Amino acid sequence: MAQNQLPIFFRYRVWWHILFWVVIFVMYWLTYGGYLERYHEEFIIGLALLPARIIGTYVLIYLILPVATEKKKFVTFGVLVVLHSILYGFIIWVSYYYLNLLKEYYDLSKYSLFYLPKILNNIISNYGIPVFASAIIIFKKWYIDEQKNKKLAEEKLAADLRFLKSQVHPHFLFNTLNNLYALTLIQSEKTPDIVLKLSGLLDYMIYKSNDNFVPLKKELEILESYIELEKMRYNERLELTYEIRGETDSHQIAPLILLPFIENSFKHGASNDRTKPNIKIRLEIQPGNLHLQVFNSVPAEKKVDESVGEGIGLKNVRRRLELIYPGQYNLLVKPGEKRFEVDLKIFWKK
């Protein structure tokens, strides 16, 4: 993670280290100086102990702590911490021992350098410093790792969406060109209109649908253009019902998220039905959600199972719904012997 992307309390590393030691020094000075009412002497003692405290703390956080956080050797880490605490307390005791100002106060002359009670006392009273510093390091590492993982997840999400959206274009184009090809074979008068509508659809898909969300009203215009293209192909043979209810101006939606369901009803329903295909599309926009229902007839001779209509279009749109509307949609796909049904609800983000 870039340094300038971190919160201010993770930047300016040298100054934060200096501030940390100033706070530690002042805290010990005021605490013990006030307790003993000897501020001058405790100030000198604090300065004398500061090198030992600094060295002991940095040995723990930069040499011993990585054994646990990076190498995951927790038993080794525990042993090293015990040894470090003993050595740390001993060094603090040595600093006291050779500080002449203390001899008259603590009468150190009767104690040896390896006087265990004093070493343990100094571990207890001073080891909170490296422990506190270690806690800060662990929190910083956790925070940075969390931010990195979040950024990687966002980048993967964006890459997945770009890939899925890129698949929509060729899939739609392939089906529409098939329709156009069929009409050119019979030299239909509708061919120019189809080319014009196809041009508008492709312009939207390639250039105007790159945003994460687009106005719902614009998305519905694209759906209607696609439906008009398909109606040109089937003439009077197709029984089509298309209903929209509710306010369309005040909502936004992920681009091209509804089109695959409409396209699927034509591709796997009407195009396979040589008699009189039937398609019903109902769209209801409510304050809390969008509700889409698509029904298409299934040819009697075609055996329907759970996989009917589950081509690349529906598979992609399922994945896009998971990525864009996690926990904010309900999708039911209901195959049947006589008709195929899709029921989708998208709950608006608040």
Write out pLDDT tens, residues 321-332: 888 888 899 999
Q: Answer yes or no: pTM beyond 0.75.
A: no
Coil, strand, or helix at residue 217? helix
Residue 143 lies in a domain: no
**255 and 310, same domain (yes or no):** yes
Q: Does the pLDDT at position 4 exceed 60? A: no
**231 and 177, same domain (yes or no):** yes
Secondary structure of 9-29 as H, E, C letters: HHCCHHHHHHHHHHHHHHHHH
Q: Which of 91, 126, 161 represents a domain boundary (last residue)?
A: 126
Q: Which of 111, 126, 141 represents a domain boundary (last residue)?
A: 126
**245 and 314, same domain (yes or no):** yes
**62 and 185, same domain (yes or no):** no
**69 and 203, same domain (yes or no):** no
Total domains, the chain = 2
Write the CATH number for 227. 3.30.565.10
pLDDT > 70 fraction of the chain, expressed in percent and rounded: 72
Residue 131 lies in a domain: no
Q: Does the pLDDT at position 292 exceed 90? A: yes
Predicted pLDDT at 160: 64
**Which of 210-227 are b and which e, b meaning 16 or more Cβ less than 10 Å from the residue's Cβ?**
eeeebbbeebbebbeebb
Residue 336 lies in a domain: yes
CA distance 38 to 30: 10
Predicted pLDDT at 102: 52
CA distance 192 to 201: 14
**62 and 191, same domain (yes or no):** no
Residue 132 lies in a domain: no
Please say whether the beta carbons of 142 and 112 come within 8 A: no
**226 and 97, same domain (yes or no):** no
Predicted pLDDT at 340: 87
Phi (first) and psi of residue 123, to 5 degrees? -65, -45
Using alpha carbons, select from 43, 51, 41 the residue that is nearest to residue 102.
41
Quote the domain boundaries for residue 302: 151-347
**200 and 333, same domain (yes or no):** yes
**88 and 216, same domain (yes or no):** no
CA distance 290 to 40: 74
Please say whether the beta carbons of 157 and 323 come within 8 A: yes
- Residue 324 neighbours by CB under 8 Å, 6+ apart: 161, 212, 254, 257
Segment 240-291, tens digit of pLDDT:
889 999 988 889 998 888 988 888 888 766 655 566 788 899 999 998 999 9
Residue 144 lies in a domain: no
The token pair that represents 325 in the structure block: 């509307």
Tell me the HSE value of 336 on the side-chain side, using a 13 A CA sphere. Answer: 11
Tell me the HSE value of 195 on the side-chain side, using a 13 A CA sphere. Answer: 8
**109 and 156, same domain (yes or no):** no
Residue 137 lies in a domain: no
Predicted pLDDT at 309: 46
The token pair that represents 259 in the structure block: 């089109």
Residue 219 lies in a domain: yes
Residue 136 lies in a domain: no
Q: Does the pLDDT at position 307 exceed 50? A: no
CA distance 241 to 228: 12
